[in-house]
Chains A and B, each alone.
Chain A
Amino acid sequence: MAWKRKDLLGIRELDPAEITLLIDTAASLREIGTREIKKVPTLRGKTIVNLFYEPSTRTRTSFEIAGKWLSADVINFSASTSSAGKGETLLDTARNIEAMRPDVVVVRHSSAGAAELLARTLRCSVVNAGDGAHEHPTQALLDLLTIRERKGHLEGLQVAIVGDVAHSRVARSNIYGMRKLGMTVTVAGPPTLIPPQVQELGVKVSHRLEDAIRDVDVIMMLRLQHERMSAGLIPSLREYARYWGLTLDRLRASARSDVVIMHPGPVNRGIELSPEVADGPYSVILEQTQNGVAVRMAALFLLAGAKASQEVP
Protein backbone atom coordinates (compact mmCIF):
# COMPACT_ATOMS: atom_id res chain seq x y z
CA MET A 1 0.00 0.00 0.00
CA ALA A 2 1.02 3.63 -0.41
CA TRP A 3 1.04 6.32 2.23
CA LYS A 4 -1.68 8.92 1.57
CA ARG A 5 -1.72 11.24 4.55
CA LYS A 6 -0.19 14.72 4.63
CA ASP A 7 0.63 14.45 8.34
CA LEU A 8 1.48 11.97 11.09
CA LEU A 9 -0.45 13.25 14.09
CA GLY A 10 -1.37 10.18 16.09
CA ILE A 11 -1.79 6.42 16.05
CA ARG A 12 -5.47 6.64 16.88
CA GLU A 13 -6.50 7.69 13.37
CA LEU A 14 -4.27 5.17 11.56
CA ASP A 15 -5.50 1.83 10.35
CA PRO A 16 -3.48 -1.34 10.98
CA ALA A 17 -2.11 -1.37 7.42
CA GLU A 18 -0.75 2.16 7.81
CA ILE A 19 0.91 1.27 11.10
CA THR A 20 2.43 -1.83 9.53
CA LEU A 21 3.64 0.19 6.54
CA LEU A 22 5.45 2.61 8.84
CA ILE A 23 7.06 -0.23 10.81
CA ASP A 24 8.03 -2.17 7.66
CA THR A 25 9.51 0.97 6.10
CA ALA A 26 11.49 1.64 9.28
CA ALA A 27 12.75 -1.94 9.35
CA SER A 28 14.10 -1.62 5.81
CA LEU A 29 15.59 1.87 6.36
CA ARG A 30 17.37 0.90 9.53
CA GLU A 31 20.18 -0.70 7.57
CA ILE A 32 21.38 2.76 6.50
CA GLY A 33 22.68 3.29 10.02
CA THR A 34 25.02 0.33 9.68
CA ARG A 35 26.67 1.61 6.52
CA GLU A 36 30.15 3.10 6.35
CA ILE A 37 28.65 6.22 4.74
CA LYS A 38 25.40 6.81 6.60
CA LYS A 39 23.64 8.82 3.93
CA VAL A 40 21.19 8.23 1.10
CA PRO A 41 20.03 10.96 -1.27
CA THR A 42 16.30 10.31 -0.84
CA LEU A 43 15.35 13.64 0.75
CA ARG A 44 18.01 15.79 -0.86
CA GLY A 45 16.69 19.30 -1.30
CA LYS A 46 13.98 18.79 1.32
CA THR A 47 13.84 20.95 4.43
CA ILE A 48 12.75 19.65 7.82
CA VAL A 49 12.11 21.94 10.75
CA ASN A 50 12.21 20.62 14.31
CA LEU A 51 9.93 22.88 16.33
CA PHE A 52 10.33 21.89 19.97
CA TYR A 53 8.48 23.73 22.72
CA GLU A 54 9.42 21.18 25.34
CA PRO A 55 12.82 19.87 26.32
CA SER A 56 13.82 16.73 24.49
CA THR A 57 17.06 14.92 23.89
CA ARG A 58 16.40 11.70 22.11
CA THR A 59 13.34 12.60 20.07
CA ARG A 60 14.77 15.81 18.64
CA THR A 61 18.20 14.28 18.02
CA SER A 62 16.59 11.24 16.52
CA PHE A 63 14.54 13.29 14.04
CA GLU A 64 17.63 15.33 13.20
CA ILE A 65 19.78 12.28 12.53
CA ALA A 66 16.96 10.63 10.58
CA GLY A 67 16.61 13.69 8.35
CA LYS A 68 20.35 14.00 7.82
CA TRP A 69 20.84 10.34 6.92
CA LEU A 70 18.19 10.89 4.27
CA SER A 71 20.10 14.01 3.07
CA ALA A 72 17.42 16.53 4.09
CA ASP A 73 18.37 19.90 5.55
CA VAL A 74 17.31 19.87 9.20
CA ILE A 75 16.79 23.03 11.20
CA ASN A 76 16.16 23.05 14.95
CA PHE A 77 13.97 25.57 16.70
CA SER A 78 13.79 25.26 20.43
CA ALA A 79 11.45 27.41 22.46
CA SER A 80 14.20 28.75 24.70
CA THR A 81 16.22 30.23 21.83
CA SER A 82 13.42 31.22 19.44
CA SER A 83 10.87 34.03 19.28
CA ALA A 84 8.47 31.95 21.35
CA GLY A 85 10.40 33.33 24.28
CA LYS A 86 9.39 36.81 23.09
CA GLY A 87 5.71 35.93 23.19
CA GLU A 88 5.10 34.89 19.60
CA THR A 89 2.18 32.46 19.37
CA LEU A 90 2.58 28.92 18.09
CA LEU A 91 0.63 29.68 14.94
CA ASP A 92 2.58 32.85 14.18
CA THR A 93 5.86 31.05 14.62
CA ALA A 94 4.66 28.21 12.42
CA ARG A 95 3.39 30.54 9.68
CA ASN A 96 6.71 32.33 9.65
CA ILE A 97 8.56 29.07 9.44
CA GLU A 98 6.29 27.95 6.62
CA ALA A 99 7.12 31.12 4.74
CA MET A 100 10.65 29.69 4.54
CA ARG A 101 9.17 26.69 2.64
CA PRO A 102 9.96 23.64 4.77
CA ASP A 103 8.65 20.28 3.60
CA VAL A 104 8.07 18.83 7.06
CA VAL A 105 7.56 20.47 10.43
CA VAL A 106 8.18 18.22 13.42
CA VAL A 107 6.49 19.67 16.48
CA ARG A 108 6.54 18.97 20.18
CA HIS A 109 4.32 21.03 22.44
CA SER A 110 2.91 20.76 25.95
CA SER A 111 -0.67 21.28 24.71
CA ALA A 112 -2.71 18.37 23.42
CA GLY A 113 -3.80 19.15 19.86
CA ALA A 114 -0.92 21.49 19.03
CA ALA A 115 0.27 19.30 16.15
CA GLU A 116 -3.21 19.01 14.72
CA LEU A 117 -3.67 22.78 14.90
CA LEU A 118 -0.46 23.22 12.89
CA ALA A 119 -1.44 20.53 10.42
CA ARG A 120 -4.73 22.28 9.69
CA THR A 121 -2.98 25.60 9.20
CA LEU A 122 0.17 24.64 7.29
CA ARG A 123 0.39 23.31 3.77
CA CYS A 124 3.53 21.32 4.57
CA SER A 125 3.54 17.99 6.38
CA VAL A 126 3.41 17.95 10.16
CA VAL A 127 4.77 15.21 12.42
CA ASN A 128 3.61 15.11 16.01
CA ALA A 129 6.65 14.54 18.24
CA GLY A 130 4.52 14.70 21.39
CA ASP A 131 1.54 16.94 22.22
CA GLY A 132 0.79 17.15 25.92
CA ALA A 133 -0.47 13.87 27.30
CA HIS A 134 -2.23 13.15 24.01
CA GLU A 135 -0.07 11.28 21.50
CA HIS A 136 3.52 10.52 20.60
CA PRO A 137 3.10 8.40 17.48
CA THR A 138 6.73 7.84 16.52
CA GLN A 139 7.46 6.56 20.03
CA ALA A 140 4.70 3.95 19.71
CA LEU A 141 5.98 2.97 16.26
CA LEU A 142 9.53 2.49 17.49
CA ASP A 143 8.21 0.48 20.43
CA LEU A 144 6.20 -1.75 18.11
CA LEU A 145 9.19 -2.21 15.83
CA THR A 146 11.37 -3.15 18.81
CA ILE A 147 8.81 -5.66 20.08
CA ARG A 148 8.34 -7.19 16.65
CA GLU A 149 12.08 -7.67 16.28
CA ARG A 150 12.40 -9.34 19.65
CA LYS A 151 9.30 -11.50 19.46
CA GLY A 152 9.04 -12.04 15.70
CA HIS A 153 5.41 -10.93 15.59
CA LEU A 154 2.94 -8.61 17.32
CA GLU A 155 -0.50 -10.19 17.16
CA GLY A 156 -1.50 -12.03 20.31
CA LEU A 157 1.24 -10.61 22.50
CA GLN A 158 0.41 -9.42 26.02
CA VAL A 159 1.79 -6.13 27.27
CA ALA A 160 1.77 -4.42 30.66
CA ILE A 161 2.16 -0.64 30.66
CA VAL A 162 3.14 0.41 34.16
CA GLY A 163 3.24 3.78 35.88
CA ASP A 164 1.89 7.23 35.17
CA VAL A 165 -0.53 6.29 32.41
CA ALA A 166 -2.73 9.31 33.13
CA HIS A 167 -0.11 11.81 32.00
CA SER A 168 1.54 9.68 29.34
CA ARG A 169 1.29 10.32 25.60
CA VAL A 170 3.58 7.33 25.14
CA ALA A 171 1.02 5.08 26.85
CA ARG A 172 -1.87 6.43 24.80
CA SER A 173 -0.17 6.05 21.43
CA ASN A 174 0.99 2.57 22.36
CA ILE A 175 -2.45 1.52 23.56
CA TYR A 176 -3.98 2.58 20.22
CA GLY A 177 -1.27 0.86 18.20
CA MET A 178 -1.18 -2.34 20.21
CA ARG A 179 -4.93 -2.77 20.23
CA LYS A 180 -5.13 -2.18 16.47
CA LEU A 181 -2.49 -4.84 15.89
CA GLY A 182 -4.23 -7.46 18.03
CA MET A 183 -2.20 -7.19 21.23
CA THR A 184 -3.59 -7.38 24.78
CA VAL A 185 -2.78 -4.46 27.04
CA THR A 186 -2.96 -4.12 30.83
CA VAL A 187 -2.27 -0.72 32.35
CA ALA A 188 -1.08 -0.69 35.94
CA GLY A 189 -0.40 1.92 38.56
CA PRO A 190 -1.93 3.52 41.61
CA PRO A 191 -5.48 4.72 40.82
CA THR A 192 -4.32 8.34 40.97
CA LEU A 193 -2.11 7.70 37.91
CA ILE A 194 -4.63 5.69 35.86
CA PRO A 195 -7.14 7.69 33.82
CA PRO A 196 -10.77 7.10 34.77
CA GLN A 197 -12.62 4.80 32.34
CA VAL A 198 -9.39 3.87 30.59
CA GLN A 199 -11.01 0.47 29.97
CA GLU A 200 -12.91 2.13 27.15
CA LEU A 201 -9.65 2.11 25.20
CA GLY A 202 -9.78 -1.68 25.31
CA VAL A 203 -7.29 -2.26 28.11
CA LYS A 204 -7.41 -4.03 31.45
CA VAL A 205 -6.49 -2.23 34.65
CA SER A 206 -4.41 -3.53 37.54
CA HIS A 207 -3.41 -1.85 40.78
CA ARG A 208 -0.75 -4.36 41.70
CA LEU A 209 2.57 -4.63 39.86
CA GLU A 210 3.01 -8.33 40.57
CA ASP A 211 -0.38 -9.13 39.01
CA ALA A 212 0.14 -6.86 36.03
CA ILE A 213 3.47 -8.34 34.93
CA ARG A 214 2.55 -12.00 35.38
CA ASP A 215 2.68 -13.91 32.08
CA VAL A 216 3.09 -10.85 29.86
CA ASP A 217 5.48 -10.79 26.91
CA VAL A 218 6.41 -7.14 27.29
CA ILE A 219 6.61 -4.76 30.26
CA MET A 220 6.67 -1.09 29.38
CA MET A 221 7.68 1.06 32.34
CA LEU A 222 6.77 4.74 32.17
CA ARG A 223 8.72 7.63 33.55
CA LEU A 224 7.46 9.06 36.82
CA GLN A 225 7.57 12.84 36.73
CA HIS A 226 8.61 14.24 40.09
CA GLU A 227 5.89 16.86 40.02
CA ARG A 228 3.28 14.09 40.48
CA MET A 229 4.30 14.07 44.12
CA SER A 230 3.72 17.75 44.75
CA ALA A 231 0.33 17.39 43.04
CA GLY A 232 -0.66 14.86 45.69
CA LEU A 233 -0.96 11.95 43.26
CA ILE A 234 1.55 9.81 45.12
CA PRO A 235 2.85 10.17 48.67
CA SER A 236 6.57 9.88 47.95
CA LEU A 237 9.11 8.61 45.45
CA ARG A 238 10.16 6.12 48.08
CA GLU A 239 6.70 4.58 48.33
CA TYR A 240 6.30 4.65 44.55
CA ALA A 241 9.59 2.81 44.08
CA ARG A 242 8.64 0.31 46.74
CA TYR A 243 5.35 -0.70 45.14
CA TRP A 244 5.83 0.21 41.48
CA GLY A 245 9.56 0.01 40.90
CA LEU A 246 10.61 -2.93 38.76
CA THR A 247 13.44 -4.70 40.53
CA LEU A 248 15.23 -7.90 39.60
CA ASP A 249 13.65 -9.75 42.53
CA ARG A 250 10.18 -8.70 41.55
CA LEU A 251 10.83 -9.53 37.92
CA ARG A 252 12.11 -13.00 38.75
CA ALA A 253 9.26 -13.66 41.14
CA SER A 254 6.41 -12.65 38.87
CA ALA A 255 7.42 -12.29 35.21
CA ARG A 256 8.23 -14.73 32.45
CA SER A 257 11.88 -15.51 31.82
CA ASP A 258 11.64 -14.26 28.21
CA VAL A 259 9.93 -11.00 29.10
CA VAL A 260 11.11 -7.81 27.39
CA ILE A 261 11.47 -4.60 29.42
CA MET A 262 10.96 -1.26 27.69
CA HIS A 263 11.17 2.36 28.80
CA PRO A 264 10.72 5.47 26.65
CA GLY A 265 13.35 7.33 28.66
CA PRO A 266 14.69 9.22 30.39
CA VAL A 267 14.88 6.57 33.11
CA ASN A 268 14.60 7.47 36.79
CA ARG A 269 17.08 4.90 38.04
CA GLY A 270 16.00 3.44 41.34
CA ILE A 271 12.44 4.76 40.95
CA GLU A 272 10.55 2.97 38.18
CA LEU A 273 13.48 0.78 37.17
CA SER A 274 16.30 -0.57 39.26
CA PRO A 275 19.71 -0.24 37.57
CA GLU A 276 20.07 -4.03 37.35
CA VAL A 277 16.86 -4.20 35.32
CA ALA A 278 17.55 -1.12 33.19
CA ASP A 279 20.98 -2.47 32.23
CA GLY A 280 20.12 -6.15 32.37
CA PRO A 281 19.43 -8.77 29.72
CA TYR A 282 15.66 -8.17 29.68
CA SER A 283 16.07 -4.50 28.81
CA VAL A 284 15.69 -3.31 25.21
CA ILE A 285 15.91 0.38 26.05
CA LEU A 286 18.86 1.09 23.76
CA GLU A 287 17.27 -0.88 20.93
CA GLN A 288 14.26 1.40 21.30
CA THR A 289 16.47 4.45 20.87
CA GLN A 290 18.19 2.88 17.89
CA ASN A 291 14.87 2.01 16.28
CA GLY A 292 13.75 5.56 16.95
CA VAL A 293 16.00 6.84 14.18
CA ALA A 294 14.68 4.21 11.77
CA VAL A 295 11.05 5.02 12.56
CA ARG A 296 11.66 8.73 12.10
CA MET A 297 13.39 8.08 8.79
CA ALA A 298 10.32 6.10 7.78
CA ALA A 299 7.96 8.89 8.82
CA LEU A 300 9.98 11.56 7.00
CA PHE A 301 10.42 9.35 3.97
CA LEU A 302 6.72 8.54 3.67
CA LEU A 303 5.64 12.14 4.23
CA ALA A 304 8.26 13.97 2.17
CA GLY A 305 9.96 11.49 -0.07
CA ALA A 306 7.60 8.74 -1.11
CA LYS A 307 6.04 10.94 -3.80
CA ALA A 308 9.37 11.24 -5.58
CA SER A 309 10.32 7.58 -5.31
CA GLN A 310 8.21 4.76 -3.94
CA GLU A 311 11.29 2.59 -3.60
CA VAL A 312 12.89 2.34 -0.22
CA PRO A 313 16.52 3.41 -0.82
Chain B
Amino acid sequence: MKLLIRNGRVIDPASGTDLQQDLLVEDGLIARSGPRLERTVAGAEVLDAGGKVVCPGLIDMHVHLREPGHEYKETIETGTRAAAAGGFTAVCCMANTEPANDTRAVTDYILAQARAAGAVRVYPIGAVTRGLGGKELAELAELAEAGCVAFSDDGRPVMNAELYRRAMEYTLPFGCPVISHAEDTNLSHGGCMNERAPTSIWPTSRPPAPSGSCGRPRRAARG
Protein backbone atom coordinates (compact mmCIF):
# COMPACT_ATOMS: atom_id res chain seq x y z
CA MET B 1 0.00 0.00 0.00
CA LYS B 2 1.35 3.39 -1.01
CA LEU B 3 0.55 6.80 0.38
CA LEU B 4 1.81 10.00 -1.19
CA ILE B 5 1.81 13.04 1.04
CA ARG B 6 2.07 16.05 -1.22
CA ASN B 7 3.19 19.59 -0.79
CA GLY B 8 3.70 19.64 2.94
CA ARG B 9 6.44 21.42 4.84
CA VAL B 10 8.52 18.38 5.79
CA ILE B 11 10.35 18.89 9.05
CA ASP B 12 12.67 16.31 10.60
CA PRO B 13 14.83 17.68 13.41
CA ALA B 14 16.98 14.53 13.52
CA SER B 15 18.27 15.04 9.97
CA GLY B 16 17.92 18.83 9.97
CA THR B 17 15.29 18.71 7.22
CA ASP B 18 12.92 21.64 6.65
CA LEU B 19 11.73 21.53 3.03
CA GLN B 20 8.60 21.97 0.99
CA GLN B 21 8.37 18.51 -0.59
CA ASP B 22 6.51 15.24 -1.02
CA LEU B 23 6.81 12.08 1.00
CA LEU B 24 6.09 8.54 -0.21
CA VAL B 25 5.00 5.99 2.39
CA GLU B 26 5.06 2.30 1.47
CA ASP B 27 3.70 -0.32 3.86
CA GLY B 28 3.87 2.09 6.75
CA LEU B 29 7.47 3.16 6.19
CA ILE B 30 8.85 6.28 4.51
CA ALA B 31 10.21 5.09 1.15
CA ARG B 32 11.25 8.32 -0.54
CA SER B 33 11.09 12.05 -0.22
CA GLY B 34 11.58 14.80 -2.77
CA PRO B 35 9.82 17.38 -4.88
CA ARG B 36 6.97 16.41 -7.22
CA LEU B 37 7.02 12.67 -6.51
CA GLU B 38 3.63 12.20 -8.22
CA ARG B 39 5.45 12.31 -11.57
CA THR B 40 7.20 9.03 -10.82
CA VAL B 41 4.78 7.31 -8.45
CA ALA B 42 1.73 5.49 -9.67
CA GLY B 43 -1.14 3.89 -7.81
CA ALA B 44 -0.66 5.73 -4.55
CA GLU B 45 -3.33 7.26 -2.42
CA VAL B 46 -2.66 10.97 -2.41
CA LEU B 47 -2.98 13.24 0.59
CA ASP B 48 -2.68 16.95 0.05
CA ALA B 49 -0.72 18.52 2.87
CA GLY B 50 -0.51 21.98 1.37
CA GLY B 51 -0.14 24.58 4.11
CA LYS B 52 0.50 21.85 6.69
CA VAL B 53 3.53 20.51 8.52
CA VAL B 54 4.63 16.91 7.92
CA CYS B 55 6.87 15.73 10.75
CA PRO B 56 7.72 12.74 12.94
CA GLY B 57 4.98 11.93 15.42
CA LEU B 58 4.99 14.21 18.43
CA ILE B 59 5.40 12.85 21.94
CA ASP B 60 3.40 14.32 24.79
CA MET B 61 5.46 13.89 27.93
CA HIS B 62 2.62 14.71 30.25
CA VAL B 63 -0.91 13.43 29.76
CA HIS B 64 -3.65 12.09 32.00
CA LEU B 65 -5.46 9.12 30.48
CA ARG B 66 -7.48 8.74 33.72
CA GLU B 67 -7.87 4.99 33.34
CA PRO B 68 -8.19 3.07 35.61
CA GLY B 69 -10.51 4.83 38.00
CA HIS B 70 -11.74 8.00 36.33
CA GLU B 71 -13.18 6.65 33.10
CA TYR B 72 -15.99 9.21 33.26
CA LYS B 73 -13.36 11.84 32.41
CA GLU B 74 -11.21 9.97 29.91
CA THR B 75 -10.16 6.49 28.93
CA ILE B 76 -7.01 5.14 27.34
CA GLU B 77 -9.01 4.79 24.13
CA THR B 78 -10.44 8.33 24.04
CA GLY B 79 -7.24 9.92 25.31
CA THR B 80 -5.04 8.24 22.73
CA ARG B 81 -7.50 9.03 19.93
CA ALA B 82 -7.39 12.67 20.92
CA ALA B 83 -3.60 12.46 20.88
CA ALA B 84 -3.59 10.94 17.39
CA ALA B 85 -5.92 13.65 16.12
CA GLY B 86 -3.45 16.25 17.33
CA GLY B 87 -0.42 14.68 15.68
CA PHE B 88 0.89 12.87 18.74
CA THR B 89 1.99 9.28 18.21
CA ALA B 90 3.15 8.63 21.77
CA VAL B 91 2.04 9.82 25.18
CA CYS B 92 3.44 9.45 28.69
CA CYS B 93 0.55 9.09 31.10
CA MET B 94 0.77 10.35 34.66
CA ALA B 95 0.28 8.08 37.64
CA ASN B 96 -2.64 9.76 39.36
CA THR B 97 -5.18 7.13 38.38
CA GLU B 98 -7.37 5.27 40.87
CA PRO B 99 -5.65 3.15 42.03
CA ALA B 100 -2.47 5.10 41.34
CA ASN B 101 0.10 3.55 39.03
CA ASP B 102 2.25 2.53 41.96
CA THR B 103 2.37 -1.22 41.39
CA ARG B 104 3.15 -3.50 38.51
CA ALA B 105 -0.47 -4.68 38.30
CA VAL B 106 -1.63 -1.17 37.39
CA THR B 107 1.18 -0.67 34.86
CA ASP B 108 0.35 -4.03 33.28
CA TYR B 109 -3.31 -3.01 33.08
CA ILE B 110 -2.51 0.32 31.41
CA LEU B 111 -0.26 -1.35 28.86
CA ALA B 112 -2.83 -4.07 28.17
CA GLN B 113 -5.54 -1.48 27.60
CA ALA B 114 -3.20 0.51 25.38
CA ARG B 115 -2.51 -2.56 23.27
CA ALA B 116 -6.20 -3.36 23.01
CA ALA B 117 -7.67 0.08 22.46
CA GLY B 118 -4.88 2.62 22.21
CA ALA B 119 -4.56 4.72 19.08
CA VAL B 120 -0.96 5.75 19.85
CA ARG B 121 1.93 4.39 21.88
CA VAL B 122 1.45 4.67 25.62
CA TYR B 123 4.41 5.01 27.99
CA PRO B 124 3.27 4.89 31.60
CA ILE B 125 4.85 7.07 34.26
CA GLY B 126 5.01 5.33 37.61
CA ALA B 127 4.28 6.86 40.98
CA VAL B 128 7.27 7.85 43.12
CA THR B 129 5.49 7.02 46.37
CA ARG B 130 2.83 4.55 47.33
CA GLY B 131 -0.61 5.86 46.60
CA LEU B 132 1.02 9.22 45.73
CA GLY B 133 1.06 9.58 49.51
CA GLY B 134 4.57 11.02 49.79
CA LYS B 135 5.45 8.64 52.65
CA GLU B 136 7.03 5.47 51.25
CA LEU B 137 8.68 4.70 47.94
CA ALA B 138 6.61 2.75 45.45
CA GLU B 139 8.17 -0.46 44.14
CA LEU B 140 10.18 1.50 41.62
CA ALA B 141 12.39 -1.31 40.33
CA GLU B 142 9.41 -3.44 39.49
CA LEU B 143 7.57 -0.52 37.91
CA ALA B 144 10.58 0.14 35.69
CA GLU B 145 10.73 -3.52 34.75
CA ALA B 146 7.02 -3.51 33.96
CA GLY B 147 7.50 -0.67 31.49
CA CYS B 148 7.29 2.65 33.32
CA VAL B 149 9.59 5.12 31.60
CA ALA B 150 9.74 7.74 34.36
CA PHE B 151 8.46 8.44 37.85
CA SER B 152 6.38 11.29 39.18
CA ASP B 153 3.77 12.04 41.80
CA ASP B 154 2.89 14.97 39.54
CA GLY B 155 0.51 17.41 41.23
CA ARG B 156 1.12 15.87 44.62
CA PRO B 157 4.81 16.67 44.75
CA VAL B 158 6.92 14.70 47.21
CA MET B 159 7.38 17.16 50.06
CA ASN B 160 9.90 15.02 51.98
CA ALA B 161 13.18 16.10 50.39
CA GLU B 162 15.07 13.10 51.75
CA LEU B 163 12.56 10.65 50.35
CA TYR B 164 12.76 12.45 47.03
CA ARG B 165 16.53 12.21 47.07
CA ARG B 166 16.28 8.48 47.78
CA ALA B 167 13.88 8.06 44.88
CA MET B 168 16.36 9.74 42.54
CA GLU B 169 19.24 7.61 43.84
CA TYR B 170 17.28 4.38 43.78
CA THR B 171 16.16 4.82 40.19
CA LEU B 172 19.59 5.80 38.79
CA PRO B 173 20.37 2.32 37.41
CA PHE B 174 17.06 2.09 35.53
CA GLY B 175 17.68 5.11 33.32
CA CYS B 176 14.22 6.45 34.18
CA PRO B 177 14.06 10.11 35.15
CA VAL B 178 12.20 11.32 38.20
CA ILE B 179 9.97 14.14 37.03
CA SER B 180 9.33 16.95 39.46
CA HIS B 181 6.22 19.02 39.64
CA ALA B 182 8.24 21.81 41.18
CA GLU B 183 5.90 23.18 43.78
CA ASP B 184 6.23 23.41 47.53
CA THR B 185 2.71 22.83 48.76
CA ASN B 186 3.63 24.18 52.18
CA LEU B 187 4.02 27.54 50.49
CA SER B 188 1.40 27.37 47.77
CA HIS B 189 -1.61 26.19 49.82
CA GLY B 190 -3.66 25.70 46.69
CA GLY B 191 -3.04 29.30 45.64
CA CYS B 192 -3.83 30.39 42.11
CA MET B 193 -2.15 33.73 41.49
CA ASN B 194 1.11 35.53 42.12
CA GLU B 195 1.59 37.38 45.37
CA ARG B 196 0.79 40.86 44.07
CA ALA B 197 -1.75 43.52 44.83
CA PRO B 198 -4.86 41.39 44.13
CA THR B 199 -3.97 38.96 46.94
CA SER B 200 -4.76 41.74 49.35
CA ILE B 201 -8.08 42.24 47.65
CA TRP B 202 -8.86 38.48 47.54
CA PRO B 203 -6.87 37.34 50.55
CA THR B 204 -7.94 33.68 50.33
CA SER B 205 -5.62 33.23 47.38
CA ARG B 206 -2.28 32.18 48.76
CA PRO B 207 0.90 32.91 46.87
CA PRO B 208 2.25 30.19 44.57
CA ALA B 209 5.09 32.36 43.27
CA PRO B 210 7.84 31.51 45.80
CA SER B 211 6.79 27.86 45.88
CA GLY B 212 7.66 27.31 42.23
CA SER B 213 11.26 28.37 42.70
CA CYS B 214 11.94 25.27 44.76
CA GLY B 215 12.30 23.33 41.53
CA ARG B 216 15.84 24.47 40.90
CA PRO B 217 17.61 22.93 43.90
CA ARG B 218 15.50 19.80 43.48
CA ARG B 219 16.68 19.29 39.94
CA ALA B 220 20.25 19.97 41.00
CA ALA B 221 20.04 17.26 43.63
CA ARG B 222 20.07 14.56 40.99
CA GLY B 223 23.70 15.51 40.22
Question: In this assembly, does B141 line the interface, its C-beta being within 8 Å of a C-beta of chain A?
Answer: yes
Known contacts A192-B166, A239-B142, A242-B142, A234 near B172 by CB under 8 Å = no
Residues in chain B near residue A192, CB distance under 8 A: 166, 169-170
Question: In this assembly, does B209 line the interface, its C-beta being within 8 Å of a C-beta of chain A?
Answer: no
Question: In this assembly, does B163 line the interface, its C-beta being within 8 Å of a C-beta of chain A?
Answer: yes
Residues in chain A near residue B173, CB distance under 8 A: 190-191, 207-208
A234 to B171, CA, bound (A): 11
Asked if B141 and A232 make an inter-chain contact with CB atoms under 8 angstroms apart, the answer reads no
Asked if A235 and B163 make an inter-chain contact with CB atoms under 8 angstroms apart, the answer reads no
Which residues of chain A from 176 to 216 have a CB within 8 Å of any chain B CB?
190-192, 207-208
A243 to B172, CA, bound (A): 15
Give chain A nearest CB distance to B120 CB in angstroms.
30
Residues in chain A near residue B170, CB distance under 8 A: 190-192, 233-235
User: Contact flags (1/0) for B119-148 with A, using CB distance below 8 Å?
Assistant: 000000000001000001111111000000
Residues in chain A near residue B172, CB distance under 8 A: 191, 207
Asked if B166 and A233 make an inter-chain contact with CB atoms under 8 angstroms apart, the answer reads yes
Question: In this assembly, does B160 line the interface, its C-beta being within 8 Å of a C-beta of chain A?
Answer: yes
A232 to B140, CA, bound (A): 12
Residues in chain A near residue B138, CB distance under 8 A: 235
Residues in chain B near residue A243, CB distance under 8 A: 141
Asked if B169 and A232 make an inter-chain contact with CB atoms under 8 angstroms apart, the answer reads no
Asked if B162 and A235 make an inter-chain contact with CB atoms under 8 angstroms apart, the answer reads no
Question: In this assembly, does A38 line the interface, its C-beta being within 8 Å of a C-beta of chain B?
Answer: no
A235 to B173, CA, bound (A): 15
Residues in chain B near residue A229, CB distance under 8 A: 136
User: Contact flags (1/0) for A213-241 with B, using CB distance below 8 Å?
Assistant: 00000000000000001101111101100
Chain A residue at smallest Cβ distance from B170: A192
A234 to B141, CA, bound (A): 10
A147 to B120, CA, bound (A): 56
Which residues of chain B from 5 to 40 have a CB within 8 Å of any chain A CB?
none
Known contacts A190-B170, A192-B169, A192-B170, A232 near B136 by CB under 8 Å = yes
Q: Which of B139, B140, B162, B167 contacts A238 (CB 8 A)?
A: B139
Chain A residue at smallest Cβ distance from B172: A191
- Most chain B CB neighbours (cut-off 10 Å) among A191, A192, A232, A239: A232
Asked if B169 and A235 make an inter-chain contact with CB atoms under 8 angstroms apart, the answer reads no
A124 to B138, CA, bound (A): 51
Give chain B nearest CB distance to A261 CB in angstroms.
23
Chain B residue at smallest Cβ distance from A235: B137
Residues in chain A near residue B130, CB distance under 8 A: 235
Chain B residue at smallest Cβ distance from A229: B136
Asked if A236 and B139 make an inter-chain contact with CB atoms under 8 angstroms apart, the answer reads yes
Give chain B nearest CB distance to A293 CB in angstroms.
39
A232 to B167, CA, bound (A): 8
Residues in chain A near residue B142, CB distance under 8 A: 239, 242
Residues in chain B near residue A207, CB distance under 8 A: 172-173
- Going nearest first, the 4 A-B pairs with the smallest beta carbon separation are A207-B173, A235-B137, A239-B139, A232-B163
26 contacts between A and B (CB under 8 A): A190-B141, A191-B170, A191-B172, A207-B172, A207-B173, A229-B136, A230-B136, A232-B136, A232-B160, A232-B162, A232-B163, A232-B166, A233-B170, A234-B137, A235-B130, A235-B136, A235-B137, A235-B138, A235-B139, A235-B141, A236-B136, A238-B139, A239-B140, A239-B142, A242-B141, A242-B142
Chain A residues within CB distance 8 Å of chain B: 190-192, 207-208, 229-230, 232-236, 238-239, 242-243
Chain B residues within CB distance 8 Å of chain A: 130, 136-142, 160, 162-163, 166-167, 169-170, 172-173
